[in-house]
Structure 1
Amino acid sequence: MMELKMYIDGKWCNSVSEEKREVKNPANGERLAIVAEGSTEDAKCAISVARRTFNSGIWSQLPFKTRAKYLHKIADLLEEEADDLAMLETLNNGKMLLAAKTDVQNAIECFRYYASLITQPEGELYNVGDSVQTIVTREPIGVCSLIVPWNFPLLMASWQIAPALAAGNTFILKPSEVTPITAVKLFEIIEKAGVPAGVANLVMGAGNSVGSEMVESKLVDKVAFIGGTKTGQNIMRVAAEQTKKITLELGGKSPNIVFADNDIEIAVDNALFNLFFNSGQVCTAASRLLIEESIHDQFVERLIERARKIVVGQGNNPKSEMGPLVSEEHMQKVLNYIEIGKKEGATLACGGNRIVGNGYEDGFFVEPTIFTNTRPDMRIVQEEIFGPVLVIQKFKDEEEAINLANDTVFGLAGSVFCQDMEKAMRVVRQIQAGITWVNCYHVATIQAPWGGYKQSGVGRGLGMFGLDEFSEKKQINISYKAKPVGWFSN
């Protein structure tokens, strides 16, 4: 069993309190690791180190090309350990091994992308007057607190770390308490790549201690958070008091609109993937399926038939198609929402139970679950469940589909399945969401912005947009010849 420590100022260390936390495999309850459990004092120490290191200029003042070499080295080392990292992600998170392998490859791509991006020509030049020019340059923000979730532990950490490093910042990372293993392995790689001590710091621990200090500290210049909307709102309140920069990717209740002109088999296959991939533990999961009335009954019948055949099991079993939920606590939350749906009067058409017996009893498995006959005011329709629970809504026409799609406080993602491309584009442009798809789902490119409308977040990650979120733009005005202004009389 692994014993994992925090990484502060280039040193591996236990917490000040010497407290530990057990990390378990959600598929069978087996202990995977004993992890140092950080406290507020540990967070303060890491923040102080990051502040001192940033002010020293050892990283922030490096040439872009030099920083890029470090990022490429991190990517190289990730590639060398890709198989081991993927297996650790599966064991710690419960996801399918194929999905974990894809996450690792996307993390590698992320570091390579930002390494290449910062070596491209950059800056703006304006002629603003006779012998006067304005130059706009990019500078690092400073000390960044990065708080990432448990559903894509390595990938979400990479999405934040790569642009933060590329821009010249120092940072503190807090992974989720339940999935810290690949974060620790990533920091082993960062150390091996030779990143100077104090630039990258890792503190494990609870949100109400470590996380709170990382948000509230006046030594922190920027907070990047991926997680629940309520926590994001609290971060906004604290940040507002200090006018602190933030990037938030928050909750979602994303619609998947299916029009009647689709091939039903293709649309059903996509609807299953759009929600049940990663057991529904995806911020952009299409947890609301909107079906045109004329094909509703036929579509639902085939959807339920297919959903009942989904093979649920351990992520490292090649026969499995859907894994466990990440923890017992989260499983109980999902099961509670299923009970809420039944009490609200929705029809439980498929699943709805914890899977036990035959090797499942020690894992956190929930059946693929489908609700029909739902109303827009139901909690299961409005609130993010973050599990394998799909709610179905029926619509008569294009206008109703758009109204239903936008009838939540969220606006992270959405999709349209329609063979009439003029209609599809007309509808997708009216979906109030930051990430949208037509006739596909979960397709993403690192060059494009990632983030949401409404209560789904603030700011954008990935691409040049992500680098901008970790940078300050400075205006420098230069007169090549000083001369009197003549504003005041002699």
Structure 2
Amino acid sequence: MYIDGEFVQADHGRTFDSLNPWTGQQWATIPDATAADVDRAVQAAHRAFTSGPWPRMTPNERAALLQKFADKLVENKDRLGFVETQDTGKLLKETTWQAAHTARAYTYYAGLADKLQGEIPPSASNMLNLVLHEPVGVVAAVIPWNSQLQLSAYKIAPALATGNTIVIKASEDASAPLLALAKVAHEVGFPPGVINFVSGHANPCAITLTSHPLVRRIAFTGGVETARKLIPNSAHNIAKLSLELGGKSPVIVFDDADLDSCVNGIVAGIFGASGQSCAAGSRLIAHESIHDVMIKKLVDRVKTITIGDPTNASTNMGPLATERQVSRIETLLAQSVERGARVVAGGKRVRGLLHNLCFEPTIALCNSSDYPIVRQELFGPVLSVLKFQTDEEAIAIANDSDYAFAGGIFSRDFARAMRTARAIQAGRLWINTYRVTGVNVPFGGFKQSGYGREAGIDALKDYTETKAIMIEVGGEAVADPFVMR
């Protein structure tokens, strides 16, 4: 782990094994942090925030370090991508691309470090009002196993740009990418304690971190059930909290859509990263007039998807990250089939491959939203398909979910697409495309998809406190000190 500028083992040498999802073999040994380890990391971050060189650095000096971080990410993209693929089973061509793409987040917030301006609200002639945005202090970031470099950057970069310090907790399902990132951070030369990486299980690691009295801001990405446990933790320290949770994102295809373009977007949305994305377009809502043609095109495309070794450049889908995920998908899919869902493509594990964690790209036709695969986030390559007749019905089906993270709309009629986008409950929507991202565009959800936003300019203020200062500049005597003016 990386605490206070040094690489350290966990207290008493505690460790756990990390398995390669493709081979099923142990490939790394990870430090298993104790409560004492986490406290040491938070204390280091607090010292760095209050008495180290960090609080005396100018925004431009912080920006220079963030830009150096970006440059180092590009230099190390091959190594970081390799580590993430070994630990998660994601395609090497994607993890390597993400490592380089993630550098943009640090460059973006480096450019914003000196742009967070205060305000001067109007006042009486003898007064001067100032509004300042100051760093909150120690930030706790809890990162899931998928897209770790990108998801951590959307927390680390704005936190450091605004002068905070941070402790990052890696997922116990795949910790190695963030511990590899710690080596890059060390090469950058941040003052000791400014950025810290710990690894370990929820109890005690995550519990100690999110309830620590010195933590002032918690940034969490993960599942709903974990968030329900984390929210009470934040009550111990009354910390600011943002939750970027799961999704059951709808993709609406209207009768006037370009169907070939739709197929590309739908395949990218649900089968990219083997469906292991919070924004996965897992609910296809197709107009009845094009439904059958759409399904045939999708089934034909699914047959061309190559499943296998994630380090092979020709592979389109690798394994899922854990046995737990695959078993859950099998259970929910079986329950849905028992209730009437009809599988027209895929539906089972891919046998004969290493470790049996690959799951076929699956398409299931559903005549209502009352199926487990429609209601629940599977975090895997399963697409449920529903029909609609009217625009209003499509919107109603799309909004009939506990989640509201993302969504897609395919139509040649821009006005129709925009009306639909305004009506759909989601934090991010794509029109005539899917799974395109950018650090300057905010993302996040509402309902059970969480609250708060990451990326974009507004994320800066989420890592600050607002301070108002009112100054007497006229030198006038106060007529009655017991009356508020």
Q: Please state if 1:239 is matched with 2:234.
A: yes
Find 1:271's aligned residue among 256, 262, 266: 266
Q: Is the contact made by 1:172 and 1:200 (CA closer than 8 Å) also made in structure 2?
A: yes
Q: Which residue of 1 aligns with 2:198?
A: 203
Give every structure 1 segment of 4 or more consecutive aligned residues whose post-TM-superposition deviation is greater than 4 Å. none
Q: How far apart are residue 162 of structure 1 and its match?
A: 0.9
Q: Is the contact made by 1:8 and 1:202 (CA closer than 8 Å) also made in structure 2?
A: yes
Q: Which residue of 2 aligns with 1:10?
A: 5
What runs of 5+ residues in structure 2 fail to find an aligned partner? none
Deviates more, 1:119-128 or 1:157-166: 119-128
Alignment of structure 1 residues 12-27 onto 2, 5 Å: 12-27=7-22
Q: How far apart are residue 93 of structure 1 and its match?
A: 1.6
Q: Which residue of 2 aligns with 1:152?
A: 147
CA deviations 1:59-89 (Å, max 9, x no partner) are: 1332101111111111111111112212222
**CA distance in 1: counterparts of 2:131 and 2:95, whole angstroms:** 40
Find 2:370's aligned residue among 377, 391, 396: 377
**CA distance in 2: counterparts of 1:85 and 1:46, whole angstroms:** 23
Q: Please state if 1:74 is matched with 2:77.
A: no
Letter of the structure 2 residue corresponding to residue 470 of structure 1: Y
Q: Is the contact made by 1:229 and 1:250 (CA closer than 8 Å) also made in structure 2?
A: yes
Alignment of structure 1 residues 181-220 onto 2, 5 Å: 181-220=176-215
Q: Is the contact made by 1:225 and 1:249 (CA closer than 8 Å) also made in structure 2?
A: yes
Alignment of structure 1 residues 436-475 onto 2, 5 Å: 436-475=429-468
CA deviations 1:168-199 (Å, max 9, x no partner) are: 11111111112222211211111111101111
Alignment of structure 1 residues 351-430 onto 2, 5 Å: 351-357=346-352, 360-430=353-423
Alignment of structure 1 residues 15-54 onto 2, 5 Å: 15-54=10-49
Q: Please state if 1:85 is matched with 2:76.
A: no
Q: How many residues align?
A: 483
Q: Is the contact made by 2:207 and 2:233 (CA closer than 8 Å) also made in structure 1?
A: no
Q: Please state if 1:125 is matched with 2:120.
A: yes
Q: How far apart are residue 37 of structure 1 and its match?
A: 1.2
Q: Is the contact made by 2:24 and 2:354 (CA closer than 8 Å) also made in structure 1?
A: no
Letter of the structure 2 residue corresponding to residue 258 of structure 1: V
Q: Which residue of 1 aligns with 2:313?
A: 318
Alignment of structure 1 residues 245-264 onto 2, 5 Å: 245-264=240-259
Q: Is the contact made by 1:70 and 1:193 (CA closer than 8 Å) also made in structure 2?
A: yes
Q: How far apart are residue 132 of structure 1 and its match?
A: 1.6
Q: Which residue of 2 aligns with 1:3?
A: none
Q: Is the contact made by 2:32 and 2:200 (CA closer than 8 Å) also made in structure 1?
A: yes
Q: 1:478 to 1:264 in 2, by over 3 A?
A: same
Q: How far apart are residue 361 of structure 1 and its match?
A: 3.3
CA deviations 1:397-416 (Å, max 9, x no partner) are: 10000000000111100111
Q: Which residue of 2 aligns with 1:484?
A: 477
Letter of the structure 2 residue corresponding to residue 362 of structure 1: H
Q: 1:86 to 1:489 in 2, by over 3 A?
A: closer
Q: Is the contact made by 1:308 and 1:351 (CA closer than 8 Å) also made in structure 2?
A: no
Q: Is the contact made by 1:255 and 1:288 (CA closer than 8 Å) also made in structure 2?
A: yes
Q: How far apart are residue 133 of structure 1 and its match?
A: 1.7
Q: Is the contact made by 1:374 and 1:391 (CA closer than 8 Å) also made in structure 2?
A: no
Q: Is the contact made by 2:20 and 2:87 (CA closer than 8 Å) also made in structure 1?
A: yes
**CA distance in 1: counterparts of 2:97 and 2:238, whole angstroms:** 37
Deviates more, 1:114-123 or 1:11-20: 114-123
Q: Is the contact made by 1:374 and 1:381 (CA closer than 8 Å) also made in structure 2?
A: no
Alignment of structure 1 residues 105-120 onto 2, 5 Å: 105-120=100-115
CA deviations 1:449-478 (Å, max 9, x no partner) are: 111121111111111122111111211222
Letter of the structure 1 residue corresponding to residue 413 of structure 2: D
Match of 1:221, SS state, is strand
Q: Is the contact made by 2:216 and 2:237 (CA closer than 8 Å) also made in structure 1?
A: no
Match of 1:415, SS state, is strand
Cα RMSD (Å) of the superposition?
A: 1.6
Q: How far apart are residue 261 of structure 1 and its match?
A: 0.9
**Structure 1-normalised TM-score?**
0.95
Q: Is the contact made by 2:262 and 2:433 (CA closer than 8 Å) also made in structure 1?
A: no
Letter of the structure 2 residue corresponding to residue 159 of structure 1: Y
**CA distance in 1: counterparts of 2:115 and 2:139, whole angstroms:** 24
Q: How far apart are residue 28 of structure 1 and its match?
A: 1.4
**CA distance in 1: counterparts of 2:151 and 2:265, whole angstroms:** 24
**CA distance in 1: counterparts of 2:402 and 2:426, whole angstroms:** 11
Identity %: 36
**CA distance in 1: counterparts of 2:208 and 2:482, whole angstroms:** 54
Q: Is the contact made by 2:251 and 2:408 (CA closer than 8 Å) also made in structure 1?
A: yes
Q: Which residue of 2 aligns with 1:178?
A: 173
Q: Is the contact made by 1:58 and 1:196 (CA closer than 8 Å) also made in structure 2?
A: yes
Q: Is the contact made by 2:116 and 2:460 (CA closer than 8 Å) also made in structure 1?
A: no
Letter of the structure 1 residue corresponding to residue 296 of structure 2: E
Match of 2:284, SS state, is strand
Q: Is the contact made by 1:72 and 1:111 (CA closer than 8 Å) also made in structure 2?
A: yes
Q: Is the contact made by 2:22 and 2:354 (CA closer than 8 Å) also made in structure 1?
A: no
Q: How far apart are residue 121 of structure 1 and its match?
A: 6.4
Q: Which residue of 2 aligns with 1:94?
A: 89
Match of 1:436, SS state, is strand
Q: Which residue of 2 aligns with 1:283?
A: 278
**CA distance in 2: counterparts of 1:273 and 1:121, whole angstroms:** 36
Q: Is the contact made by 2:258 and 2:410 (CA closer than 8 Å) also made in structure 1?
A: no
Deviates more, 1:235-244 or 1:141-150: 235-244
